């Protein structure tokens, strides 16, 4: 007789959390090792930016492709293939010998990694009633934050003890362990042999999403100025996170005099600040709404001070001490994530439910192009003008993004 597992959907939520932790560990391993790896392989700042661009280009394109594959294969098989793919790609980084091989492996990693989130969205829609979905999405985003926080500590320790090649092999192998647990535990709720009948009733009682969603075209969405406003806003502000995710460890070692061990012990702090900013931003706008303020003005009331704080970035490169450098970076990452939490929530505030899926896919694809462009540009700016120019640019993007948001995002779409 098959043993039933009480509260099975929360075990599945835990697996989604850990898949996202692994996802961020794998993508950030190169960033932490960049000071060592680029020196050993003779990779310039421009070449490093090209390597990062290969990842982001593949990651962005596969936002569309992976969504199609999830619908075709189902979440169980699709997510298994995605994580096996990116785990093997990450492990293969250990065999990189130069710019071209590392760039090709980075592209393969990007092809698999965005699938984690597309599959997770499908699992959430299948397994959780509406009142639980926000919590599960929060767990998934929490996995990204935890992955970003622990990676510098773990990777610098592995590098110090074993070298950079084993760091890729060890982190990549985590995904293969995860897949084994996923295949043992996950099935669709209507066919799962281990779900209790009481939980199956809870999960399947949720009405299916309207068929209208599948009929929505990008041409229809393009009619709305809110869509263009959000896309332009995210196109400008999202690259700031990618900069701090991919370039921060390299900057701290090469420009601020940190050793690899010191960087590993301290580089996690800005990512923790980002996590706290995300929680604070969501809480603060919720407080404004609870006091009777309109939803959109509540989001913008949080986003405006965050945008005004971001020019603090201009002072980072000229900070008089390493402590001040970390403190200023923490202020910036905190403000960015408080901003981003409200910016992302605007999608749900502005668009009716049957447009959310198509809208999210289009926004992810469009803003991914911004991340790709700015990441490619960063290497050239650093090479010709230095990091000071990049910090100036990163400090000005949010104020411009806020003005665009105020111009185009004025009222929800009625449909």
pLDDT tens profile 8-38: 888 999 999 999 999 999 999 999 999 999 9
Distance from C-alpha of 156 to C-alpha of 352, rounded to nearest angstrom: 46
Which distant-in-sequence residues (6+ apart) come within 8 Å of 161 by Cβ?
none
Q: How far is CA 76 from the centre of its chain?
A: 21
Say how many CA atoms lie within 13 Å of 300 toward its Cβ.
20
User: Which pLDDT does position 355 carry in this prediction?
Assistant: 67
Q: What is the mean pLDDT of the chain?
A: 87
User: Which pLDDT does position 211 carry in this prediction?
Assistant: 38
Q: Coil, helix or strand for 190?
A: coil
Cβ pair 70, 115 in contact under 8 A: yes
Distance from C-alpha of 165 to C-alpha of 156, rounded to nearest angstrom: 12
Distance from C-alpha of 267 to C-alpha of 190, rounded to nearest angstrom: 44
* Domains annotated on the chain, with CATH: 1-208 (1.20.1250.20), 220-415 (1.20.1250.20)
To which residue do tokens 């400008």 refer? 236
Say how many CA atoms lie within 13 Å of 271 toward its Cβ.
30
pLDDT: is 315 or 352 the higher one? 315
pLDDT: is 127 or 151 the higher one? 151
Of 267, 276, 396, 277, whose CA–CA distance to 326 is shortest? Answer: 267
Distance from C-alpha of 206 to C-alpha of 214, rounded to nearest angstrom: 19
User: Which pLDDT does position 214 carry in this prediction?
Assistant: 45
Of 16-20, 81-85, 220-224, the poorest mean pLDDT is in 220-224
Distance from C-alpha of 241 to C-alpha of 238, rounded to nearest angstrom: 6
Which distant-in-sequence residues (6+ apart) come within 8 Å of 262 by Cβ?
none
Distance from C-alpha of 26 to C-alpha of 116, rounded to nearest angstrom: 12
pLDDT in tens, 288-300: 888 988 888 888 9
Rounded to the nearest 10 degrees, how much is the dihedral formed by the CA atoms of 194, 195, 196, 200? -150
How many other CB atoms are there within 10 angstroms of residue 218's CB atom?
13
Average pLDDT (308-327) is 95
The CA distances from residue 247 to 32, 135, 296, 382, 408, in Å, are 9, 31, 33, 11, 32
User: Which pLDDT does position 57 carry in this prediction?
Assistant: 92
pLDDT: is 59 or 415 the higher one? 59
Average pLDDT (397-412) is 89
To which residue do tokens 């622990």 refer? 150
User: Which pLDDT does position 134 carry in this prediction?
Assistant: 62
User: Which pLDDT does position 66 carry in this prediction?
Assistant: 82
pLDDT in tens, 342-399: 888 787 777 776 666 667 777 877 778 888 999 999 999 998 999 999 999 999 999 9
Predicted TM-score of the model (pTM): 0.85
How many other CB atoms are there within 10 angstroms of residue 31's CB atom?
23
Q: Say whether pLDDT at 412 is over 80.
A: no
Residue 291 DSSP one-character state? T
User: Which pLDDT does position 222 carry in this prediction?
Assistant: 72
pLDDT: is 133 or 63 the higher one? 63
pLDDT bracket for residue 212 (50, 70, 90): very low
Of 209, 216, 238, 220, whose CA–CA distance to 365 is shortest? Answer: 238
Of 14, 9, 19, whose CA–CA distance to 192 is shortest? Answer: 9
Distance from C-alpha of 134 to C-alpha of 150, rounded to nearest angstrom: 24
How many other CB atoms are there within 10 angstroms of residue 113's CB atom?
25
User: Which pLDDT does position 400 carry in this prediction?
Assistant: 96
Q: How far is CA 294 from the centre of its chain?
A: 28
The CA distances from residue 41 to 37, 310, 338, in Å, are 6, 35, 38
Average pLDDT (200-210) is 67
Give me the percent of the chain exceeding a pLDDT of 70.
92
The CA distances from residue 357 to 354, 360, 362, in Å, are 7, 5, 9
Q: Coil, helix or strand for 114?
A: coil
- Residue 148: both structure tokens together: 């970003």
User: Which pLDDT does position 206 carry in this prediction?
Assistant: 61
Of 198, 179, 142, 143, whose CA–CA distance to 7 is shortest? Answer: 198
pLDDT in tens, 262-276: 999 999 999 999 988
The rounded radius of gyration (Å) of the Cα atoms in the chain is 21
Q: For the chain, how many residues are written?
A: 415
Cβ pair 183, 76 in contact under 8 A: yes
To which residue do tokens 């293939």 refer? 81
Helices 295-309, 387-408: axis angle to 10 degrees equals: 160
């Amino acid at each position: 007789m098959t043993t039933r597992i009480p509260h099975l959907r929360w075990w599945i939520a835990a697996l989604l959390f850990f898949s996202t932790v692994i996802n961020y560990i794998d993508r950030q391993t190169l960033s932490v090792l960049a000071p060592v790896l680029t020196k050993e392989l003779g990779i310039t700042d421009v070449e490093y930016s090209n390597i990062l661009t290969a990842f982001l280009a593949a990651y962005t394109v596969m936002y569309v492709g992976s969504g199609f594959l999830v619908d075709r294969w189902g979440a169980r098989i699709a997510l298994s293939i995605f994580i096996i793919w990116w785990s093997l790609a990450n492990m293969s980084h250990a065999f990189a010998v130069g710019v071209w091989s590392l760039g090709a492996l980075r592209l393969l990693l990007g092809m698999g990694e965005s699938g984690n989130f597309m599959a997770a969205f499908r699992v959430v829609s299948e397994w959780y009633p509406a009142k639980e979905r926000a919590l599960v999405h929060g767990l998934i985003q929490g996995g990204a934050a935890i992955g970003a926080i622990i990676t510098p500590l773990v990777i610098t320790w592995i590098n110090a003890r074993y070298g950079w090649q084993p760091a890729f092999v060890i982190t990549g192998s985590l995904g293969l362990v995860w897949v084994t647990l996923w295949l043992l535990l996950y099935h669709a709720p209507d066919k799962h042999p281990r779900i209790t009948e009481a939980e199956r009733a809870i999960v399947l009682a949720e009405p299916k999403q309207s068929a209208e969603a599948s009929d929505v075209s990008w041409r229809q969405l393009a009619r709305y100025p809110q869509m263009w406003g959000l896309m332009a806003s995210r196109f400008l502000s999202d690259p700031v996170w990618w900069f701090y995710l991919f370039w921060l460890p390299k900057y701290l070692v090469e420009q601020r005099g940190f050793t690899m061990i010191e960087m590993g012990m301290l580089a996690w702090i800005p990512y923790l600040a980002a996590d706290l900013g995300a929680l604070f931003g969501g809480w603060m706008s919720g407080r404004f709404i609870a006091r009777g303020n309109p939803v959109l003005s509540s989001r913008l009331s949080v986003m405006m001070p965050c945008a005004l704080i971001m020019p603090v970035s201009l002072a980072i490169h000229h900070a008089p001490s390493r402590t001040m450098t970390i403190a200023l970076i923490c202020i910036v990452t905190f403000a960015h994530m408080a901003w981003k939490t409200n910016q992302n929530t605007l999608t749900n505030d502005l668009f009716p439910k049957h447009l959310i899926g198509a809208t999210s896919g289009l926004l992810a694809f469009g803003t991914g192009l911004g991340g790709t462009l700015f990441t490619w540009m960063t290497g050239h700016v650093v090479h010709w003008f230095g990091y000071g120019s990049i910090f100036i640019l990163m400090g000005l993007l949010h104020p411009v993004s806020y003005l665009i948001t105020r111009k185009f995002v004025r009222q929800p779409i009625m449909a």
